[in-house]
A and B are shown apart, each in its own frame.
Chain A
Amino acid sequence: MDFETKKHIIECLEKDVRYDGRKKDEYREIEFKIGLIETAEGSAYVKCGNTEVIAGVKISVEKPFPDTPEDGILMVGAELLPLSNPKYESGPPDSVAIEVARVIDRGIRESKSIDTKSLCIVKGEKVWSISVDISPINDDGNLIDIGSMAAVAAILNAKFPKYENDKVDYKAKTDSLLPFNKIPVAATVLKLGNNFIIDPTELEQEAADSRLTVTITEDNKLCAIQKGGDGTLSIEDIDKMMSMAIGKSHEIRKHIKQ
């Protein structure tokens, strides 16, 4: 991003002005559509401002990892589709895409919201494997938070397929939901100059010096943290940013629950 634009964005923030008229700690309008993908076992579409994502859950039966023979498998993936933004290119995921996917994955995994033990079918032999994939349709910033919301909403909506005679029957969905109850929320706070903002647009994201993503469990504990961006943060910065993220997480959780 060019120096002048960045300077202008920061000068505006000093006067409490964002280009789209929001307050620094204000989210864009969020819209959820649940269960719209019939081929997925669970799905959610989330639109937050101009950022739109679809998350889908596929469930299969796999051999467990040798070090966790009694645990089911949970995997969250995200691809930065070139359809969603001119800056993305086709090809294997680059480090930016991998970071987005890993941060969301870690937040959901470490929150222990999913009881992986109850996903065991035969110890050491067969466990349920839950794959959540996030596909952005239009990326206008804040993919980690919005992708995470979509992933969690898709998991909450997912139903096991029928499993009989060692075969998964994808045509017959059962009524049983996944063992997932407490909702983790990823909240990202950006630092631009001496300003802290939440739910950045793509432009704000590009102007930011540094970023802090915190994933917060339903009982208000932190389960994953990631500092991003090229800039540094002081301990005081981190304190402020965490408080802002925790404060916002309650509001986001309410949205997901609806």
Chain B
Amino acid sequence: MVYSKRLDGRGFDELRPIEAKAGVIKNAEGSAYFRMGKTIAYAAVYGPREMFPKFKQDPKKGVIRCNYNMMPFSGAGERVRPGPSRRSKEISFVTDKALIPTVDLEDFPNAVVDVYIELPQTDAGSRCCGINAAAIALADAGIPMRDIVASVAVGQADNQILVDLTYEEEHLPEYTECESKDVADIPVAIIPSTGQISLLQMDGIIEKDALMKALHKAKEVISKISEVQKNALKEKYAAESIENNE
């Protein structure tokens, strides 16, 4: 393989610089900012509140409803048309599924917890970044949870297993010389305490062995994301408790 050094100089299983803040949107019950390299996500949680339209209410438990949206200027190429697309609807749907196993809404029948994810700037991995922000925002909102889901994309380009791919790496043969034209992008969300996977998608071409290797890599690095998420919450609530004591 030719791809022996990553375009941005990272190690192959090194994440991009990550940054997280909790409680960034005043109007929301809970909120977060999450950055992975040049991909930025905001998440805001509103609810539990009564579900409308009514036919979507579940009399046994509350429902989580995620909404993923790219801001019109958030793509490196042409303007992204505002409003839902097939892509954004699917991502909203899989984000729901990624978060559901960790939240416990049995005490909120007929209610909805709305999670709005907005991306002002993207460079691949936007659904993962959105999930990371959303998980912090849910915890910040005080929604009963078993754990805080963390997410990262792994993949393969030029037969090399990569962690946290950039846009250029998702299209590697266009940017650098490659022996293999095959690229695979695998967004994964993991529940850190159990290692269970709640989101798994794949785009591209990869062999089973490589895929399994990539998944193990994801499991290895997820604790780093998880730590940043927890620190963001700790920082917010530490600052609040100091204010209250004063």
A58-B38 in contact (CB<8A)? no
B118:A83 contact, CB within 8 angstroms: yes
Given contacts A38-B38, A86-B46, A138-B25, contact A81 B116 (CB under 8 A): yes
Given contacts A37-B120, A85-B27, A131-B79, contact A58 B72 (CB under 8 A): yes
Q: Smallest Cβ distance from A85 to chain B, in angstroms? A: 5
Residue of A40, A81, A92, A138 touching B73 (CB-CB under 8 A): A40
C-alpha gap A17/B73 in the complex (Å): 40
Cβ-defined contact, A82 with B25, below 8 A: no
Counting residue pairs across A and B whose Cβ atoms lie within 8 Å, the total is 92
Do the beta carbons of A37 and B73 come within 8 Å of each other?
A: yes
CA distance A170 to B75 in the complex (A): 10
A60 close to B (CB within 8 Å):
yes
* A113 partner residues in chain B, CB cutoff 8 A: none
Judge whether A135 and B67 touch: CB under 8 Å: no
Q: Is the interface of B mostly helix, strand, loop or mixed?
A: loop
Question: Would A56 and B25 count as touching, CB distance under 8 A?
Answer: no
Complex CA gap A58/B73 in Å reads 6
Residues of B within 8 A of A50 (CB): 26-27
Whether A121 is near chain B, meaning CB under 8 Å from some CB there, is no
Q: Which residues of A contact B76 (CB under 8 A)?
A: 39, 170-171
Interface size, A (range): 20 to 34
Is A84's beta carbon under 8 Å from chain B?
yes
The interface bits of chain B over 198-242 (1 if a CB of A lies within 8 angstroms of the residue's CB, else 0) are 000000000000000000000000000000000000000000000
A79 within 8 A of B: yes
Contacts of A86 in B (CB 8 A): 27-28, 46, 49
Contact between B71 and A84 (Cβ–Cβ < 8 Å)? no
Q: How many residues of B contact A (CB 8 A)?
A: 33
B69 within 8 A of A: yes
Give the CA-CA distance A131 to B74 in the complex, in Å.
Answer: 13
- Residues on B with beta carbons closer than 8 Å to the beta carbon of A40: 73-74, 121
- B122 smallest CB distance to A (angstroms): 7
Contact string against B for A residues 73-92, beta-carbon threshold 8 Å, 1 for contact and 0 otherwise? 00001010111111000101
Cβ-based interface call for A140 (8 A): yes
CA distance A84 to B118 in the complex (A): 10
User: What are 6 of the A-B contact pairs (CB < 8 Å)?
Assistant: A38-B121, A79-B82, A83-B117, A90-B67, A133-B73, A138-B26
Point out residues on B near A: beta carbons under 8 Å. 24-28, 38, 42-44, 46, 49, 67, 69, 71-79, 82-84, 114, 116-118, 120-123
7 additional contacts (CB under 8 A) given A39-B122, A84-B27: A39-B75, A39-B76, A39-B123, A56-B72, A82-B114, A86-B49, A90-B116
